[in-house]
Amino acid sequence: MQQLFRQLPSIDALLKQPQAVELCQKFTHSSVVEQARILLEQARKQIIEHQALPDFIADENAFFAMLGEKLQALSEVKIRTVFNLTGTVLHTNLGRGLWSEKAISAATNAMRHNVALEFDIDEGKRSHRDNYISELIQQLTGAEAACVVNNNAAAVLLMLATFAQGKEVIVSRGELVEIGGAFRIPDIMAQAGCKLVEVGTTNRTHLKDYRNAITENTAFLMKVHTSNYHIQGFTSSVSEEELVALGKEYNLPVVTDLGSGSLTDMKSLNLPAEPMVQQKVAAGVDLVSFSGDKLLGGPQAGIIVGGKAMIEQLQQHPLKRVLRCDKVILSALEATLRHYLFPEKLTDELPTFHLLTQSLDSLQHKAERLKNGLSKRLDSRYILQIEPNLAQIGSGALPSETLPSLAVTISAEKQSDLLALEKAFKTYPSPIIGRFAQQKFWLDLRSVAEFEKLIEMLRR
């Protein structure tokens, strides 16, 4: 064994080789030394366990090839681009919606340059970073002002911490939602230091339930849009209009967590109806929070709209600085919101709406091209078909809302062959992500963006 150990090269000897010099120039001296030491340690372990030199030590070229691969892997970003063929357009695990070209341009411009983030160019003095968004929100929704944080959960936390710490918040039992990662409304309330008061039952809540729960310690009445599930059958709920009237009677504000946050009439796009922010503002709701990266079609953000006095209180809370967005997100969000000033172009400009509104004829054409491209790559073990499917708008958001779609399905006699194929798809430069159902592998066309790049990758 000692003789094998003596065959291991020293770091100094390795660094004198031309391959090492080249790697040092490309990846730096320290990283080459560190990774070389790791490989040599692996070799020592193999000698101890198997009393044999590993192949990459016996062959110097193999050693430097492996060293180069390790260094290259260290330099590459692990968050890789993928092709989403799951059938879920706003897939939380795959980054939800795609930004518009204008949002991407605005974000990269902010990355490359100094921008007037908190500076009023006309007045020549400091301003607030949310001002651009606030002006747009006023124009789009009729709300007096807006506050922007890093996601909608943060928006809810900020509202609760600002106005309800040490106080009670009344919410219908049927609206105590849990979102992805076991993140629950009651947990957010506990974190904000307020007391949750549940009223009604899971399926039925009445106005009198809220009225009977009001005490001198009530901070506000709260509505939560249950976008990730629906209760059907014998149900009853209280509208924002009714709650606003009750709130005025007791001088209590009404707050709505709208979640997905639509700014356009979804039915006009032949999509399932979703409550709009403008509707809640018009109903008199004091504060409305919603997401920027779901139905809005922009970057991850939480937006709170409402009266100027309450928004100013939110802006002054210490948590706001903890939760605020940077120049890149705010630039992309502003660019996204500006699309809504030209509603007729939304399906052309916003990728989310473009994917959701594709016609079945368009999907049929794509399915045929995808099937043809795959058939040239797969052997006789696999059977390809084009089948109807129901795509989801979202996974965490609107998972119960489906749209007619088409998928290329792949089946095989052996399930192991399908598993091997799925594994192979994940090795592509941009992995192809589909889903298993009914003993087939489904590749849904509604959720895939950059379809031409997918076809080109298969061709290569």
For the chain, which domains are there?
Answer: 1-75 (no CATH), 83-91+353-458 (3.90.1150.110), 101-344 (3.40.640.10)
149, containing H or E segment: strand 145-149
- Distances 423 to 73, 91, 103, 386, 428 between C-alpha atoms, Å: 20, 20, 34, 22, 10
Q: What is the pLDDT of residue 230?
A: 67
Q: What is the pLDDT of residue 400?
A: 61
Q: What is the pLDDT of residue 449?
A: 95
The backbone torsions φ and ψ at residue 360, rounded to the nearest 5 degrees and listed phi first, read: -65, -30
- DSSP-assigned letter for residue 248: H
Distance of alpha carbon 446 from alpha carbon 391, whole angstroms: 7
Q: What is the pLDDT of residue 111?
A: 97
Distance of alpha carbon 212 from alpha carbon 199, whole angstroms: 9
Q: Order of strands across the sheet with 218-224? A: 145-149, 302-306, 287-291, 254-259, 218-224, 168-172, 195-199
Q: What is the pLDDT of residue 460?
A: 84
Q: What is the pLDDT of residue 217?
A: 96
Q: Which residues are within 8 A (CB) of 396 and not within 5 positions of it... i.e. 6 or more apart?
A: 92, 179, 180, 228
At residue 218, what is the residue type?
T
Q: Which pTM was predicted?
A: 0.90
- Positive or negative, the CA dihedral 40, 46, 52, 57 is negative
Q: What is the pLDDT of residue 189?
A: 86
- Distances 24 to 10, 16, 38, 69, 74 between C-alpha atoms, Å: 16, 11, 16, 14, 14
Q: Is-contact 241 227, C-beta < 8 A?
A: no
Q: What is the pLDDT of residue 113?
A: 97
Distance of alpha carbon 338 from alpha carbon 332, whole angstroms: 10
What does each of the 460 residues of the chain score in pLDDT, given as a tens digit?
A: 788 788 888 999 999 999 999 999 999 999 999 999 999 999 899 888 888 888 888 788 899 999 999 999 999 989 999 999 999 999 999 999 899 999 999 999 999 999 999 999 989 999 999 999 999 999 999 999 999 999 999 999 999 999 999 999 999 988 887 765 556 788 888 888 999 999 998 888 999 999 999 999 999 999 998 866 667 777 788 899 999 999 999 999 999 999 888 999 999 999 988 999 999 999 999 999 999 999 999 999 999 999 999 999 999 999 999 999 999 999 999 999 999 999 999 999 999 999 999 999 999 999 999 999 999 989 999 999 999 999 999 865 555 678 999 999 999 999 999 999 999 999 999 999 999 999 999 999 999 999 999 999 998 8
Q: What is the pLDDT of residue 215?
A: 96
Distance of alpha carbon 321 from alpha carbon 281, whole angstroms: 26
Of 457, 433, 434, the C-alpha closest to 82 is: 433
- DSSP-assigned letter for residue 249: H
Q: What is the pLDDT of residue 203?
A: 86
Q: What is the pLDDT of residue 399?
A: 55
Q: Which residues are within 8 A (CB) of 259 and not within 5 positions of it... i.e. 6 or more apart?
A: 152, 224, 225, 227, 228, 290, 291, 294, 397
Distance of alpha carbon 14 from alpha carbon 57, whole angstroms: 11
